Amino acid sequence: MRVTSEEMLNGPVGSVLVRMTIPMVIAIQMMILFQVVDTYFVGLLGTVELAAISFTFPVTFILVSLVIGLGIATSVQLAKAIGQGKQDVARRITTDSILLTVIVAIVVSIGGILTVDPLFKLLGATEQTLGFIHDYMDIWYFFIGLMIVPMIGNSAIRATGDTKWPSIVMIISGLINAVLDPVLIFGIDQIPAMGVKGAAVATVISWMLGLCMSLWILRVREKLLSFDIPDLDELQKYARTLFKMGIPISIANMLTPISAAILTALIARYGEHVVAGFGAGSRIEAFFLVVSYGSTASLSPYMVQNLWARNFDRARKALKLSIRFVFVFQLALYPLIYVLAPTFAGVFSSDAEVLEVAILFLRIMPLGFCFYSVLIIFNTGFNAAHQSNKTLVVSLIRVFACCVPLAWLGGLIYGVPGIFIGSVVGNGVAALIGWQILKKCYNGIEDHAIFKVEKPHDFTTAELKGERV
């Protein structure tokens, strides 16, 4: 469903946000469900294979977070241009963003393939699991460009107010991945069993389909792609703008999987069964955060267009509504997760030790969901206001001053349960600190230099690219 700029600037705040959020929630929920299916089929191969795929989660999440940051930066720049009717500028922004992320994909692909062994050994992978990690990550890294372009493309489409088509792309891609998983992992008829490699190949095929759909929507439906050769000077200027805003967001997003990687390393000393249980719990965890993820995805373009139209009260109202909603929703969801934890954990493994850890994870960690959810809404508020440096600061505080130290301390005192409890408390402390920083940011948002323009509905190209006047 497309929400027009007029509706975002003048329509009822709550209902507009709901209309934008629902397609994203459905899409993210389906994508995570398909990823859960992915983990389920790999788990059927054995505990070692499940442990191997669990080691890949934080690493792949870190790289996905890099792309998300660049996607958010693209969306912010694009939403300003579209809101002002600057179609030529919007087309250039979209095209240049995709060109730049292709370059990033090449660098990440080469660097990733060359560092599989040292990186995963650092995380605690054994020689037994390392072979299976190579089976998955070598393919994943080689074709990572097929993932990056659709992600940036979907961010660009959402900037127009259209959350329906990005959701359709995500759902279809995830469905293809889920259907191909058992076929390629276990084999059927003339198709040989590929094991863990099959999971990676299924993912790559789903990426390829998503790439084709995103490019078609951007080029044909939205007319946001240009085949003109870019001016190198302008491309370099835009690259500085994009990375200046996007890199802090990317680093902030990376800190969540980095935190998960550190927790994985802390837990690895307790054995592969514990790592497998932690990996299963982590994959299920994402399923219960879909509403919060959907809320932040829809809030971003809404806030950008209102801030740059100088509708500061509407932007504040949307931010407060989103914070209250995700906190209450996640808090209300916890009792359900606690009761059904054995059922959810049992989907992935029948091993008693793996089940014990997964159930423990699901009965402790979701307590921190309400705090983590408001933190990602805080970050959306910072990014929309061109304060991505604050996003990074709050995220650094959350991981390195709160979650990791308290998880480490909890582990010393109470073992694996202590690690989980420390992480929950760390998220709560970080949320309190983040709230204070957010209040200071938005109390004086009208006076921020970047919003002080004489004609809020007639931005120049330089202003649309985030340069102050």
Cα–Cα distance for residue pair 104/34, rounded to 1 Å:
27
- Asked if residue 218 belongs to a domain, the reply is yes
Cα–Cα distance for residue pair 7/15, rounded to 1 Å:
10
The total number of structural domains in the chain stands at 1
- Asked if residue 191 belongs to a domain, the reply is yes
Average pLDDT over every residue of 456-466: 39
Residue 48 has pLDDT above 80, yes or no: yes
Tokens 């629902």 correspond to what residue?
A: 22
- Asked if residue 161 belongs to a domain, the reply is yes
Whole-number pLDDT of residue 288:
86
Residue 455 has pLDDT above 80, yes or no: no
Average pLDDT over every residue of 175-191: 88
Cα–Cα distance for residue pair 175/168, rounded to 1 Å:
10
Residue 456 has pLDDT above 60, yes or no: no
Residue 281 has pLDDT above 60, yes or no: yes
**In the chain, what are the helix, strand and coil shares in percent, each to the nearest 5?**
85, 0, 15
- Asked if residue 114 belongs to a domain, the reply is yes
- Asked if residue 157 belongs to a domain, the reply is yes
- Which is more confidently placed, 376 or 123? 376
- Asked if residue 469 belongs to a domain, the reply is no
Tokens 């806030």 correspond to what residue?
A: 303
Cα–Cα distance for residue pair 323/373, rounded to 1 Å:
8
Q: Crossing angle of helices 47-83/272-287, nearest 10°?
A: 30
Domain residues for 258? 5-464
- Which is more confidently placed, 52 or 458? 52
pTM of the entire predicted model:
0.77
H helices present in 123-226, as ranges: 127-142, 145-159, 164-186, 196-216
Spell out a b/e string for 371-386, using b for 16 or more CB atoms within 10 Å of the CB, else e: bbbbbbbbbbbbbbbb
- Asked if residue 60 belongs to a domain, the reply is yes
Other C-beta atoms lying within 10 Å of the C-beta of residue 356:
16
- Asked if residue 358 belongs to a domain, the reply is yes
Residue 267 has pLDDT above 70, yes or no: yes
Residue 272 has pLDDT above 80, yes or no: no
